[in-house]
Amino acid sequence: MIRPLLISSIATVLAWPSAAQTAGDRIVPLLAIEPSSFPIGQASEVQLSLSNANRGSLARLRPGDRFTFFVDLTNAEIDTIRLAGAGGSLPPAGWSGAQGEDRFSLVLTYQGEPRRFLPGDQISVRFRLTVARGPAPGKVTVALPDTARYQHGPGSMALIAATTGLVGPRGDNGRPGAPGDPGAAGLQGPGGDAGPRGDIGPRGPEGARGFAGNAGSAGPPGGPGPRGSQGFAGAAGAKGATGPTGATGPAGPTGFTGAQGAQGTQGPQGLTGLQGPPGIQGDPGNSGRCRTRLPGGLSLRPARWHRLRHPHHRGQTGPRPVPVDLHSGLRRQPRPHMVRGGFRQPVLRK
């Protein structure tokens, strides 16, 4: 079982130069796994390394590049994935390792700055592999981020196996083979990214003075200068003409009310008003003489009637006799009777 795996590994190594010649400036992954044989029913600590087999590569690693490794071995599972380290010019801080979508894959991700993956650079990851049953042969393959900057080669696959016997110690490396014939020159690759700006060099010697150039165009006017000191007072000028009259100003506030003046003289008496209409005629009075004996020795003789004017008419009115109460002998106010042309009142006497 070990002999066919050894022959396949040797064939893979011999095929590296031809794969690198056809890759141009792309990165050709090279996988290395240690150990490559695993006892059945035991957990083995495995280290998987990734490097670049193309010495003419100019492509760069970019943030987000993902390398997915698949362990194709019957009844095998992997776990406990961790970063083992980096070699060459690769910083280990830009890499991270994690379990894949299943129990027989793992993902290696680059998150650093864009940089070249030079030959001799290497990134390694460690994990634990357990084989439940066997024996069986297997392999480890890798899925690349893209095909514009990467190309598969014979080294993109590593052979492994599950064995029933004990795994012996690793043997010594063999002697290097004779160098192969140089391959044909490849096509020129695209220009690389601009490198960082170099330091400023030392100042060169001063050159000879050149000829005077033509006069340039006039520049823009300058800004105002600082204010000068105040000069002496000039002579008084001639008096100017009188200006036009200004507009009338607004009315001022109302002043205080003055003191009340003296009372004027009384005016002349007005004219007499018009005479009013005649009053209503009263009831007719008694006629003839009569004498009536009353209690208390009083007697009522024929009254002497006086013609009275209506109170609304102007002029004097006749005397108003005061009648006497026949029973008590006291005087009381008589009640006049209305007759035609005025009022008539009787006169009471004792």
For 132, the token pair is 């439940």
**Domains detected in the chain:** 2-163 (2.60.40.680), 281-350 (no CATH)
The per-residue pLDDT for range 18-74, each reduced to its tens digit, is 555 577 899 999 999 999 999 998 899 999 999 999 999 999 999 999 999 999 998
Contact in structure between 19 and 155 (CB atoms under 8 Å): yes
* Pairwise CA distance, residues 302 & 348, whole Å: 9
Mean pLDDT, residues 209-227 taken together: 87
131, with CB counted inside 10 A (0-12, 13-18, 19+), is buried
Contact in structure between 342 and 315 (CB atoms under 8 Å): no
287 pLDDT band (50/70/90 cuts)?
low
Greatest Cα pair distance in the chain:
197
Tell me what pLDDT residue 214 has. Answer: 86
The per-residue pLDDT for range 149-173, each reduced to its tens digit, is 999 988 899 999 988 755 555 566 6
What region, left, alpha or beta, does residue 53 occupy, with left being phi > 0 and alpha being psi -120 to 50 degrees?
alpha
Instruction: Report the percentage of the chain scoring pLDDT > 90.
Output: 31
Kind and range of the H or E run holding 19: helix 16-22
Tell me what pLDDT residue 234 has. Answer: 83
Rg (CA), the chain: 73
pTM across the whole model: 0.44
Q: Which residue has the higher pLDDT, 115 or 12?
A: 115
Q: How many other β-carbons are positioned within 10 Å of the β-carbon of residue 71?
A: 24
Kind and range of the H or E run holding 17: helix 16-22
